[in-house]
Amino acid sequence: MILKERVADDALRVALDGFSGQLTRVYLVDSEAEAVTLFKRNMRQATPMMEHIGRTLRAQYDH
């Protein structure tokens, strides 16, 4: 997340900002059940997000 500003893909930076916000929400909810639900949702989204980051970064270095 710290290095996201170095990514040239604007859409990816916006997606990372949103994902970061989702991760933070887990700690701010009022109930354990809601935290578990959000955590599970975040984990389902984590792998595609990491794959997107990898594709984008590799594409930048291919030029």
pLDDT of residue 13: 86
User: In the predicted model, is pLDDT for residue 28 greater than 80?
Assistant: yes
Confidence of residue 61 (pLDDT cuts 50, 70, 90): confident
What are the structure tokens assigned to 47, written together? 């792998």
Tens digit of pLDDT for each residue in 31-44?
Answer: 999 999 999 999 99
User: In the predicted model, is pLDDT for residue 62 greater than 90?
Assistant: no
13/21 Cα distance (integer angstroms): 12
User: In the predicted model, is pLDDT for residue 14 greater than 70?
Assistant: yes
User: In the predicted model, is pLDDT for residue 60 greater than 80?
Assistant: no
